[in-house]
Amino acid sequence: ASEGKDGASAAENTPPQVPQGKQGERSSVFYSAGQFFFEYLVVVSLKKMPDGHYEPKITYQFPKRENLLKGQKEEEERLLQAIPLFCFPDGNNWAPLTEFTSETFSFVLTNVDGSRKIGYCRRLLPSGRGVRLPEVFCIISCLGCFGLFSKILDEVEKRRQISMAVIYPFMQGLRESPFPAPGKTVTIKSFIPESGTELIELTRPVDAHLEHVEFQALLQRLSPHLILHIFASAMLERRLIFLAEELSVLSQCIHAVAALLYPFTWAHTYIPVLPECLLDTVCCPTPFMVGIQMRHLQRVLEQPMEEALIVDLCEGKIIRAVGDEEEILPGKLQNEMLISLNRHNNNNNVHTSEQVNALVSEAFVQFFVRLVGHYGSHIKWGRSGSGSFQERAFCKAVASKSCRRLLKKFVKTNMFSLFIEEAEKSRIPQEGNG
């Protein structure tokens, strides 16, 4: 749900800031094949404190990093301190259990340079008898591919029910395998006692910008009308708060909302699962997109925050709005997108999730093509090969008044500025039709 060129190198050398983004930040989603699948696998367990409450702590880390330089050590320590908070963002109200349905979710950590690392989590109850506490297996990676990492976590969970010892060789094999190119498959050999050697195939989706996305999750919970209100608010870089009880719902839906902005990138604070102790993030005067558990709704509403769109993903409704959401998008373009989204909604049981992703993404990409697809014709190219964007002429070139009104606001956003900066550097004028 974000854009960039080299996800690994920038993230490797910059201390993670937890969890704030900053203006102008870039993050990574298009990765070259051959990178490491992941940086770390950590296990976060709940430890009982003297006062009786439970605190999440890292109890296992693979690989162990040694011979790190001082700056790298500091980065690693900051990263490892942040992870438990995001693996158990729901605070300390845990007690030993006999049954627990495992859940998969993800979180994002933003570096000072704006690149992002993703934590893919599987929260599960270890096998055994009697009451016990859930634990989280968390894979930290610069690579955005939720489907692929969910499958890896399936394998981790299967091995956890046998023994922690059989997880290590599987993750070692994964670490030694190159990350596949879009549409390609990598095969991992893995030995399990009593089952023998297994071949696990991990295939990367063909469309790289949709591999961290599940639009179905959004369509199942919100009406097309509401999705367009949210999209319009995100487009103008407003403050967005999403509420749900399940961490998996929060992370899936927020990644989907951010992906609607493609080929643009949400360039502000982005926290799909906000830990309880960071709830005052909603008081930030700058744009943000955050997910909060429903149990904290009252505390959120009591915060002295500025105008924000608050969306209830459980009930499929807006709890608080700015009030102009219906008027942001030009009527004709809005109707075209509504027809498209309704068609996908009606055929939900027909399409695979990949087809739904492609169809929904296409509707929003076409919206941007219609609105800003002529940008390449308004970059003036100098002899040196660098370009200069002619903003005024670009806006005036649009005949429709409602489109021009939106365009004048959109060109002032961070995401449009970053997009144009890249275009101005490209040296090759873009095609006028986008």
Residues composing the chain: 434
Place of tokens 């049981």: 349
Residue 186 and residue 81 share a domain? yes
Residue 132 and residue 196 share a domain? yes
Q: Please write the tens of the pLDDT for every residue from 121-131.
A: 999 988 888 88
Residue 242 and residue 149 share a domain? no
Taking the model in full, what pTM does it have? Answer: 0.81
Fill in the amino acid letter for 16: P
**Distance (Å) of CA 172 to CA 189, 369, 374:** 10, 44, 48
Residue 312 and residue 170 share a domain? no
Q: Please write the tens of the pLDDT for every residue from 9-64.
A: 222 222 233 333 333 333 333 344 447 788 889 999 999 888 888 889 999 888 87
**Please, is 195 exposed, middle or buried when counting C-beta atoms within 10 Å of its C-beta (0-12, 13-18, 19+)?**
exposed
Q: Provide long-range contacts, Cβ within 8 A and 24+ apart, for 243-246.
A: 243/291, 243/292, 243/293, 243/294, 243/297, 243/300, 243/310, 243/311, 243/312, 243/313, 243/314, 243/319, 244/291, 244/293, 244/294, 244/312, 244/313, 244/314, 245/293, 245/294, 245/295, 245/314, 246/103, 246/105
Report how far residue 105's alpha carbon sits from residue 273's, in angstroms, rounded to the nearest whole number.
9
Domain that holds residue 123: 40-206
Kindly state whether residue 276 falls inside one of the protein's structural domains: yes
Number of domains the chain is built from: 2
Q: Would you state the pLDDT for residue 71?
A: 66
**Distance (Å) of CA 296 to CA 169, 239, 251, 286:** 40, 17, 16, 21
* DSSP element (H, E) containing 320: strand 317-320
Kindly state whether residue 416 falls inside one of the protein's structural domains: no
CA angle, 310 as apex, 114 and 227 as ends, to 5°? 85
Kindly state whether residue 150 falls inside one of the protein's structural domains: yes
Where the chain has pLDDT below 50, the residues are 1-34, 429-434
Kindly state whether residue 76 falls inside one of the protein's structural domains: yes
Residue 155 and residue 55 share a domain? yes
* DSSP element (H, E) containing 212: none
Q: Which of 333, 351, 384 is a domain's end point? A: 333
Residue 267 and residue 327 share a domain? yes
Residue 290 and residue 153 share a domain? no
Residue 309 and residue 166 share a domain? no
Kindly state whether residue 261 falls inside one of the protein's structural domains: yes
For residue 224, give the CATH number of its domain: 3.40.50.11500
Place of tokens 């009451």: 131
* DSSP element (H, E) containing 164: none
Q: Which of 292, 313, 333 is a domain's end point? A: 333
Q: Which of 154, 179, 206 is a domain's end point? A: 206
Residue 175 and residue 94 share a domain? yes
Residue 202 and residue 65 share a domain? yes
Residue 189 and residue 68 share a domain? yes
For residue 200, give the CATH number of its domain: 3.30.450.200
Residue 125 and residue 108 share a domain? yes
